[in-house]
Amino acid sequence: MEVLMPEPQIYVERTLAIIKPDVICKEEEIEDLILRSGFHIIQKRKLQLSPEQCSNFYAEQFGKVFFPNLTAYMSSGPIVAMVLARNCAVSYWKELLGPSNSLRARITHPHSLRALYGTDELRNGLHGSLSISSAEKEIRFIFPEAILEPVPTGQRARDYLNLYVKPTLLAGLTALCKEKPADPL
């Protein structure tokens, strides 16, 4: 009887998380919630953006009524930016954040981060990327030195595993079996 093992999969997706100026005092508490939610913090930095940098970061919001208040708020103090990774990172982070309006979040998603830490629609405590492509763009903006290699998926991931990972594992396990150590650890 042959046991069929599922094909190995690579579960890595990145998103940008920002702890905004008014809740930076809750940084450790928020990071703990992030880690307990299955995310890995790949990179982290504390910085203060200028109003011009905030305008560039939120360029897609330009022209909206709240844009001047948003850039003033985001440049009012230091922020903590983090690159988070896990399976379906963007969608899980958006789910953990809850609705962008903290007042609505308290009603519809009372355990979300914005319900817990936000005060209103503008001061919602945390930022999250809306899509994989916006996450890549935002990560490059905040972490310009970051190397964002595309994560292989589908056939490309299987080819990578077959070409690089499986031969290395096979060689290592074969060498281990030949040695037959008394205590393999």
61 vs 146 pLDDT, higher one: 61
Whole-number average pLDDT of the chain = 88
6 vs 17 pLDDT, higher one: 17
Express each pLDDT in 81-95 by its tens digit.
Answer: 999 999 899 999 999
The catalytic position among 40, 109, 111, 127 is 127
Q: Which of 50, 19, 16, 14 is nearest to 124 (CA)?
A: 19
Sign of the four-CA dihedral 8, 14, 15, 17: positive
The per-residue pLDDT for 102 is: 94
**pLDDT over 60 at 8, yes or no:** no
- Residue 117 Cα to chain centre, angstroms: 18
Compute CA distances 2 → 8, 22, 174, whole Å.
Answer: 18, 58, 22
Of all residues in the chain, the percent with pLDDT exceeding 70 is 88
Predicted TM-score (pTM) of the model is 0.75
**Cα separation, 71 vs 59, whole angstroms:** 10
User: Any catalytic annotation for residue 127?
Assistant: yes
The per-residue pLDDT for 178 is: 83
172 vs 7 pLDDT, higher one: 172
Q: For the residues 119-136, what does the mean pLDDT come to?
A: 92
